[in-house]
Structure 1
Amino acid sequence: MNVTVFGATGSLTVDELLADGHTVTAYARNPRKVPDSWTGKVRVVTGEITEKTKIYDVVAGADAVISALGPVMDRKAQGTPLVAGTQYIFDAMHTHNVARFIGHATPAVLDPHEKPTFTTRFTTFMPRTFMPRAYEEITGMCRIVLDSDRDWTIVRFLAPKHTPKQDRVRVGFFGTDKIGFAVSRADIAAFTAAQVDDPTYIRRAPAISN
C-alpha cells in the first residue's frame, strides 16, 4: 500500500512500514533529522503542518495516512497548529478519497464506547491543569478524527519508552481490559504500522502498553 506519514522524522513507524513492504511518503518538518537509512527508500517531502497545498499533494495517491504528530510540550509555545494541520489532512483525504487514517493520542481522549476511569481522568486532569495548550491541541486534533466519516483508528498510550520491542503487548480499552502505563516506542510503531491493513480497530481508539 502507499502510506503517507506525518510527523515522520525519526519515526520507527516508517521503518516498520518499509519492513511490511509498503511504499512510504514521509512529510517531515526538518530534513536534517531524516535518517540516512531512508535514502532511496522513502519519498521525503519537507514542509510545515500548516502548509495546506503541500499536505494535499502528499495525501494524493495514498491508500492510508498515519499521523504521529504530537503537541510540543514547551510552555512558551503558542497556538494550536496541529489542529489546523489535522483539518487539512482530513480535507485532503476527502478530496482524494483516502479512507484509512491512523493517529496517536493519550487516554485523555476516550474511545467512543469507553467510560471514564481513574486512569483516563488522571491523564486528563494533569495536562489540562499544567499543560493546557498541549491538552487543547491533542483533544482538538482527535475531535476532528472522531467526528469524521473516515476509517480511523487512534492508538493511545501513556508512557512511551526508548526500549526494544517487548515480549508482551497489551491492547484494549480502559474499564474493560488491563492496560499498563509504560510501552516501548518500538511496540507503538509496530502496532501503528500493522493497523494500515487491519480492520480490527476501525473507528476505535485502542490503548497499548507492555
Structure 2
Amino acid sequence: MTGQPIRVVIADDEPLIRAGIRMILTSDPSIEVAAEAPNGREAVELARAYAVDVVLLDLQMPVMDGLTALAELRTAAPKARVIVLTTFGERENVLRALEQGGAGFLLKDTAPAELIQAVRAAAAGDAYLSPGATRHVVEQLTLGRAVVRGKEARQRVAALTGREREVLGLLGEGLSNAGAGRRLHMSEATVKTYVSRILAKLGCENRVQAALLARDAGL
C-alpha cells in the first residue's frame, strides 16, 4: 500500500451508519472511501468497478444480503478484503461469514481507532481479530459446534509441527504476528513465515479460518 491510499467501499443499508463510518475513515489520510453501497448487489458492483482494497460489509441488507455478497465478492473482486459489520445478535451469520473468507469482523459500536486499525490490518493482508470482542464472539460461536467440529479440527492440526501448533494457538487467541513473536521470542518475519506455512498445511484461506480451527481443536 506504499504511497497509495487504502480504497474502501462501505456497504450498509443505513445512511447514518455509512456517514459515521465515512467520517471516521476519512479522518485518516491513508484511507480513501471510494464508494458507499446501500445493499449487497451494489457493494459487489462498486468493489469491482473501483478495484478497492477493503469492503466493510453489513450482513443484513436488502436486494442482496451480506453473506451472498461475500460469496460474489470472492469472484468479482478477489483482491478486496472483506470486514463484516455486525452485532452480537448475528453470531451464527458471523461464523458463516468468517468461514467463507471474511477477513474479520467489527461490531457496529466499535471505537473509531479500532475501525481504522481494522481497515489498515485488512489492507496489509492480515485478518483483524480484536483481542477482546473477537475472542469473546469466536468462543460463543464455536461453543455449540465444538463436539462436532473438534475431532476433524484435531485431525487437521495433527499434521503440524509442535512449533506450528504453538503459533496456531496464538492465532486462536487473536494475536498479531508481532504479538505472537513477542510471546514466542521470535521475529515478526519468522512468525509470518510460520503463519504462511500453517495456512498452506491446513488448507485455510486466511488467519480467521485458522483461528477458528485452533479454537475447535482446543489449542
Quick check: which one's strand share is greater?
1
Q: Give the TM-score normalised by structure 2.
A: 0.38
Q: Give the TM-score normalised by structure 1.
A: 0.39
The structure showing larger relative contact order (alpha-carbon pairs under 8 Å, at least 6 residues apart) is 1
Bigger CA radius of gyration: 2
Quick check: which one's helix share is greater?
2
